[in-house]
Structure 1
Amino acid sequence: MTTLRFAAIGIDHRHIFGMAANMIEAGAEFAGWWTQGHPNTEEGFVERFPDVPRANSANALLEDPSIDLILLSCIPRDRATWAVQAMEAGKDVLTDKPGCTTLDQLATIKATVATTGRIWSIDFSERFEVPAVTRAAELVAEGAIGRVIQTLGIGPHRLNRDTRPDWFFDRAAYGGILTDIASHQIDQFLFFTGSTDAEVTFASAANYANPDDPGLQDFGEIALRSAQGHGYIRVDWYTPDALPTWGDGRLTILGTEGYIELRKYVDVGSDGTDHVILVNGTRCEKIDASGSDLPFFARFSADLRDRTEIAMTQAHVFKVCELSLKAQAMAESAPR
């Protein structure tokens, strides 16, 4: 492989902006894109990537032997189907979360990875596109807080009702709030505790504030336990309009010798983003992590070239999906 060439299928979620831009930053060439219809993201996407041609069909991209990687940010229920088609066409895949919306889809993806030897990965943007998480990972690796025994992750989001497409309010289309948003926090729990497996001990999902949209789940929570640690996750669609960003996402990492708190996107009363608070036996400080690197995309590009798993293992991706889907099922089977 010389210069990595990639294409995008589906631009229905704005996460495709960051996925494509970061792949370009890592040295890849954006060869083309296709999407069904004209989603409300299209105008901004074309403005961001004006020189990238829109293909006449998805198959034109899948059949192009010069394209190595397919990015997916179509409607979540359709991502597994496109991923399988891409892998069967000899392409590796990087998909927006959630990578799939049912356990049957996940089983099909696993089987396709096994038979094709292709890489199927997910851009967990709340880890891979947040400099504060890079700095926190460095501190944990340095032993700054001892052994990590718990993560507490919250993922509040702004509803932005007027900009949301119909599929956003369709449970079958987006997969449920735990399958969707909480996959970020499950990924971070496994990563920071060093867990390769975990048990979902509690899960809940509900619609408290949007009764006219019965397909929307606007609140969810999960408790996790592994041999290495414990985790609690809360996600919601309640971000108030006065907050200057889409959500006050936070992560607390508890260790045996201290703790780290990440205030990723905002810290009310302070300027900027990527605030990292470190407290241990000798340090009690707030660190500006906004200048930290985002190494995932360069590592992922190297994995595509070398057929390695440095950026993230395939087993980790599968496990995040499995746990989020199991949590969603548990939440929806619980007595109301």
Structure 2
Amino acid sequence: MSLSFVCLGLDHRHIYGMAENMIRIGARPLGYWTEGDPETLAGFAKRFPDMPRIAHLEDALALGADLALVSAIPADRAALSITAMQAGHDVMTDKPGCTTLDQLDEIKACVATTGRIWSINFSERFEVPCVTLADALVAAGEIGSVVHTTGLGPHRLNRATRPDWFFERERYGGILTDIASHQIDQFLHFTGSTSAEIAMSHVANHANPDDPGLQDLGEIALRSDHASGYIRVDWYTPDALPNWGDGRLTLLGTKGFIELRKYVDLATGAGTDTLILSNGTRAEAIDARDAGLPYFERLADDITHRTETAMTQAHCFEVMRLALIAQEMAER
């Protein structure tokens, strides 16, 4: 593959998976730039020892990469993405892709004028093999029409490793903008909805009173013209759980249901990527670890052919619009 990429900003660990998956499909890393020395830097250098650090952003942009991977502080991602697109790069950014509606408008304008691709790596869909299998089962009609989704996104706080910006509302964007964008993406995708409205949203800080900028619980109820959904996200993963969170997604169809136990399944001890399917002829748990991660290859193909097979641009914009509206509603 002739596709090349550059990493811009290493402030969130999601940059590890973004880079690893692009290298896995044959893309060539040209280098990385990041502001200062974020906590993630040592882990990045260990994983990618041959990727050179570029001292200045302008020099990183001048390397001529096809794609920029952006994982800076959330509030800085929009400006960095716009700078990369104006320099001729397509962009894969970590979620959230932006933290205000004004930033989203600026990104839309930049995409319109440059013709670049702005894609958000919703890792809770794109880096989870059981979601790939769920895609195939829904497309095959195994549970009929999906009319409701329940998305749960619990996370471990890991306070000792969190940088200062993690506790600053204006820097991370709020819990619904940040985490719940994953579940909004999954709602729109699996219900086949092009748009939706926020029926209810709520944020709170129940367990971290010394960090008033942190929101540790968030909820959303949303609906489209043919489906509805509920989302709960939090920072309450207990220490004894063997991973960072028991993330789950339930798809309710008119002929059955699918439950995805993405990261852990304490009931069976099966590990990651357990898919539970029940319909008129089947009721079983399926090991979906080998279902694949097609987003990265599809994005590479989209960059080459200027198509929208990985995710449509309209979908990407709509996910962030809904997340930002939900955040504003909750805080009002």
Scaled to the shorter chain, the TM-score interval is over 0.9
1:297 alignment partner in structure 2: 296
Report the secondary structure of 1:139's partner residue: helix
> What TM-score, normalized to structure 1?
0.98
CA distance in 1, matches of 2:165, 2:101: 20
User: Identity of counterpart residues, as a percentage?
Assistant: 66
CA distance in 1, matches of 2:304, 2:135: 25
> 1:330 is matched by which residue type in structure 2?
M
Deviation at 1:282, TM superposition (A): 1.0
Which runs of 5 or more residues in structure 2 are unaligned?
A: none
1:191 to 166, 189, 192: 189
2:265 to 264, 267, 273: 267
CA distance in 2, matches of 1:253, 1:298: 26
1:98 alignment partner in structure 2: 96
Deviation at 1:272, TM superposition (A): 1.7
1:57 alignment partner in structure 2: 56
CA distance in 2, matches of 1:74, 1:250: 27
Alpha carbons 1:17, 1:45 under 8 Å: kept = yes
Q: Does 1:24 align with 2:23?
A: yes
Q: How does 1:210-249 map to 2 (within 5 A)?
A: 210-249=208-247
Deviations 1:273-294 (A, max 9, x none): 1000001111110000011110
> 2:136 is matched by which residue type in structure 1?
E
CA distance in 2, matches of 1:103, 1:26: 33
Report the secondary structure of 1:310's partner residue: coil
Deviations 1:105-142 (A, max 9, x none): 00000000000000001000000000000011111011
Deviations 1:254-278 (A, max 9, x none): 0000000000000104132100000
> What TM-score, normalized to structure 2?
0.99
Deviation at 1:228, TM superposition (A): 2.4
CA distance in 2, matches of 1:67, 1:310: 21
> 1:188 is matched by which residue type in structure 2?
Q
> 1:216 is matched by which residue type in structure 2?
L
> 2:112 is matched by which residue type in structure 1?
A
CA distance in 1, matches of 2:11, 2:253: 39
Alpha carbons 1:194, 1:228 under 8 Å: kept = no
CA distance in 2, matches of 1:158, 1:209: 13
> 2:83 is matched by which residue type in structure 1?
Q
Deviations 1:206-232 (A, max 9, x none): 100000000000000000100120010
Stretches of 4+ moved more than 3 A in 1?
none
Deviations 1:76-126 (A, max 9, x none): 000000011111111111000000000000000000000000000100000
1:331 alignment partner in structure 2: 330
CA distance in 1, matches of 2:111, 2:178: 22
CA RMSD of aligned residues (A): 0.7
1:84 alignment partner in structure 2: 82
Deviations 1:300-325 (A, max 9, x none): 00000000001100000000000000
1:40 alignment partner in structure 2: 39
Which runs of 5 or more residues in structure 1 are unaligned?
A: none
- Deviating more after overlay: 264-273 vs 165-174: 264-273
> 1:307 is matched by which residue type in structure 2?
R
Deviation at 1:63, TM superposition (A): 2.1
1:258 to 241, 256, 259: 256
CA distance in 2, matches of 1:303, 1:115: 18
Deviation at 1:56, TM superposition (A): 1.3
